[in-house]
Structure 1
Amino acid sequence: MENIIRTLRAEHGWSQAALADKLDVSRQSVNAIETGKYDPSLPLAFAIARLFEKSIEDIFVDPQQPAKAAE
Structure 2
Amino acid sequence: MTGPEEILAFWLDKVGEKGWYLQDDALDQEIRTTFQKTWEEACEGRFSFWLTYPSGTLAYILLMDQFPRNMF
TM-score by length of 1: 0.28
Higher normalized strand content (fraction of residues) = 1
Larger Rg: 1
TM-score by length of 2: 0.28
Higher normalized helix content (fraction of residues) = 2
